[in-house]
Structure 1
Amino acid sequence: MSKQHYPLDGITVIDLSHVYNGPYATFLMAMAGANVIKVEPFQGEHLRSRGDMGGAALPFAMLNSNKKPVTLNLKTEKGRELLRELVQRADILVENFAPGVMDRLGLGADELHKINPRLVYGSSSGYGKDGPYRDYPAMDLVMQAMCGVIDSTGFADQPPVKSGAALCDFMAGIHLYGAIMTALYERERTGIGRTVEVSMQDATYASLASNLGMLHARGDKAPARTGNRHGGLGISPYNVYPTTDGYVVLNCPGDHHFHSVLDVLGRPDLKDDPRFVSRSARVENFEAVDELLESWTRTQSRNEVARLMLEKKVPCAPVRGLAEVMQDENMHARGSLQRIQHPELGEVVVPHSPLVFEGSTRLEIEPSLPLGASNDEVYGTWLGHTPEELQVLKTEGVIS
């Protein structure tokens, strides 16, 4: 069998990032074949060090498969010099420190490009490096508030609610991956790397398109929150409906979808009802639409509703709990979710990359490793430092 090839074979990434957005970008690189060296302080990156509080061990394992973890004390000059050695051989560096941190360490993009002009330097922060909010601290919850996610989530007559998902972090991570890959493509043509940056605020804005569209159309009359209805109140039916054993969601973007719904409900006589004859009419009469659907869904199980609707090609799904989603047969069949034996966590379900490269089988998932597990491999075998030199670095508090 011929050797498998992956898009980022031969690319080395220095990953200084922590928690979600940077580590997700570098996870995508690792699963595309890149050699990702995860550089952490002695106490571990922030997500790893949350593990003792419960709930963080699995997220760390999810985002750090196929990476080589090393420890490095960047507060020492020898630690900074060791990072420069890594950068000399690297293609990409990723960090998501607050703006200015790397410059204060003498490791900013300009300085590192003097060492390696081919380096693609990727940076992510909450608000970006050059706006008036530059120095504001930012985490996903804060960004959800600033971006309008919280204000647009929930029901109009109730307080706003944060998204259950860490939307802003992962939006930024996906965009950061895209920016770095774009710069890497440019470098292959020009031979020169560049700095790219992504702010969480910038990356999240476009996801509110439906809500922004309603604001543009209705101005002050636009409701801030629409519950489970369409964010732009432009589609009906579009809602969460109760069943005998839970809930389903249903979305009818076109008239033919709604005609199929009426067939499932056994009410084809309503196809010419003026309240339902067009999408605009259904939006104006959304309460009647929802009442019609709900009177039927309440008599059915969620899976039966989904089965009948999907047979008619109506977008519909049961509202599933996370335990169900973790066992999703489609994602496991595709290999995008996999069960692995983790040396610290036992059997766990972790994601593979959503990016599928046809012609190459998915890389085997290598479980996330303990803090500093790759020190000898990276600093010794790869950089060429002798065991004696490594011992001195450990004694001097440069590596742990």
Structure 2
Amino acid sequence: MATSALPRDPLAGLTVVDLSHVYNGPYATFLMAMAGAKVIKVEPLDGEHLRSRGDIGGAALPFAMLNSNKHPVAVNLKTEQGRELLREMVARADVVVENFAPGVMDRLGLGAAELHKINPRLIFASSSGYGKDGPYRDYPAMDLVMQAMCGVMDSTGYVDQPPVKSGAALCDFLAGIHLYAAIATALYEREQTGVGWVVEVSMQDATYMSLASSLGMLHSRGAEAPRRTGNHHGAMGVSPYNVYRASDGYIVLNAPGDQHFRAILDVIGASDLEDHPSFATRAARVEHFVVVDELIDGWTRQRPKDEVVRMMLAAKVPCAPVRQLSEVMLDTNMHVRGSLQWIDHPELGRIVLPHSPLVFEGTSRRPIEPSLPLGACNDQIFGEWLGHSEEQLAIYRSEGVIS
């Protein structure tokens, strides 16, 4: 299809009722919002967890990152009137997303079976730590807990030191990505059949595949496999593959093929070692990885990191500086592409926010609309969209149904 035949955002016309909170569900709905869907963010009267802890722990920026281009409403689902407002939204919606503990929606009388009676075309999407069935169903789950249960921590760090969590909230965001994929798949199927689906993603399931290298080493070496490999390759199958010191910081360098290692030797002026028995093949380099690392580190530590990176990239060697987050937020490539954008946020001031990583050629990126205060769209959604009068909304406010 020619790009000129793509007139609008790919999810334009879809309405999503987003009951999710913190990271994994909100990331899936963020991706949908930036692809053109109308996402109605439904929060309790005191706000979802991430919003309500914005005064401590730096949660304000993550909330802004995940909730651009959404329409927030605040409604008390513990009241029958609040649940009825949700049912009215569901009747007009395409997708419901929730990441409560399994069983919560059913106890509210808002489970998939009940909502499908209202709207048989509805996609009901859930995410939880361990899934809706199985012996771990009711275990509480946050990213740290999931990193421990999924093997991320056991495979991170150095073998002679305690396990370390990933600095990134891997399990939450891996689940969010998979949840988006499940929703998109169900929407495609609905186009063929007209029938809505129930889809779910567990954080545990979504994380397992990311440990492929470590699992491969366990399979091939069994009890001999090191549990943690530091900055070396997870399966100890590539050398060099490490963090190396520069005169002003650190760089990472990776030589997956023999040609890459030959290029490294050329750059550091050691091409005479190309046929040395310790370096001639990848298997030999892995066996002698300590010697390989000493050779490279002895050269890199005498030069600034930007010079090392420039020389290695010119030779087509995978290499990068180890950058601080303050540098990453200003990344030239991401800002030029529009993946990161400066935004004037009404509450946070001038900040950098991410756009969706999903790029649809032929359509321009949607402008980032800053996240809005709690309940900011109550009148728009409950009044204009659902058709409730100002008088009725005033009654709902007085009775604690909406904020």
**TM-score where L is the length of structure 1:** 0.99
Task: Answer whether contact 1:70 1:371 (CA < 8 A) is retained.
Answer: yes
Q: 1:236 aligns with which of 225, 239, 247?
A: 239
Query: How far 1:174 moved relative to its partner?
Result: 0.1
Q: 1:346 aligns with which of 346, 349, 370?
A: 349
Is residue 7 from structure 1 mapped to residue 10 from structure 2 by the alignment? yes
AA of the residue aligned to 2:248: D
Query: How far 1:2 moved relative to its partner?
Result: 11
Task: Answer whether contact 1:4 1:361 (CA < 8 A) is retained.
Answer: no
The separation in 2 between residues aligned to 1:301 and 1:243, in whole angstroms, is 6
Aligned residues: 400
Q: 1:386 aligns with which of 389, 398, 403?
A: 389
Note the 1:293-372 alignment, pairs <5 A: 293-372=296-375
The separation in 1 between residues aligned to 2:230 and 2:177, in whole angstroms, is 27
Is residue 263 from structure 1 mapped to residue 266 from structure 2 by the alignment? yes
What does residue 66 of structure 1 align with? Answer: 69
What does residue 160 of structure 1 align with? Answer: 163
What does residue 81 of structure 2 align with? Answer: 78
Query: How far 1:222 moved relative to its partner?
Result: 0.4
Query: How far 1:3 moved relative to its partner?
Result: 9.8
The separation in 2 between residues aligned to 1:396 and 1:48, in whole angstroms, is 23
Structure 2 spans left out of the alignment, 5+ residues = none
Note the alpha carbon deviations across 1:64-114, whole angstroms, 9 max, x for none: 000000001000001001100000000000000000000000000010001
- Call closer, same or farther: CA 1:3–1:131 in 2, change over 3 Å: closer
The separation in 2 between residues aligned to 1:151 and 1:306, in whole angstroms, is 31
The separation in 2 between residues aligned to 1:363 and 1:340, in whole angstroms, is 13
- Structure 1 runs (4+) greater than 6 angstroms displaced: none
The separation in 2 between residues aligned to 1:392 and 1:118, in whole angstroms, is 32
Q: 2:218 aligns with which of 196, 215, 235?
A: 215
AA of the residue aligned to 1:141: L
The separation in 1 between residues aligned to 2:229 and 2:221, in whole angstroms, is 14
Note the 1:265-284 alignment, pairs <5 A: 265-284=268-287
Task: Answer whether contact 2:6 2:363 (CA < 8 A) is retained.
Answer: no
The separation in 1 between residues aligned to 2:386 and 2:317, in whole angstroms, is 57
Query: How far 1:379 moved relative to its partner?
Result: 0.5
Task: Answer whether contact 2:6 2:362 (CA < 8 A) is retained.
Answer: no
Task: Answer whether contact 1:380 1:390 (CA < 8 A) is retained.
Answer: yes
The separation in 2 between residues aligned to 1:40 and 1:296, in whole angstroms, is 55
The separation in 1 between residues aligned to 2:314 and 2:127, in whole angstroms, is 44
Note the 1:167-186 alignment, pairs <5 A: 167-186=170-189
The separation in 2 between residues aligned to 1:49 and 1:269, in whole angstroms, is 62
- Call closer, same or farther: CA 1:305–1:185 in 2, change over 3 Å: same
AA of the residue aligned to 2:296: L
What does residue 132 of structure 2 align with? Answer: 129
Query: How far 1:57 moved relative to its partner?
Result: 0.4
Structure 1 spans left out of the alignment, 5+ residues = none
Query: How far 1:206 moved relative to its partner?
Result: 0.3
The separation in 2 between residues aligned to 1:4 and 1:321, in whole angstroms, is 40
Query: How far 1:54 moved relative to its partner?
Result: 4.0
What does residue 19 of structure 1 align with? Answer: 22
Note the alpha carbon deviations across 1:302-345, whole angstroms, 9 max, x for none: 11111000001100000000000000000000000000000000
Query: How far 1:53 moved relative to its partner?
Result: 1.3
Q: Secondary structure at the match of 1:53?
A: coil
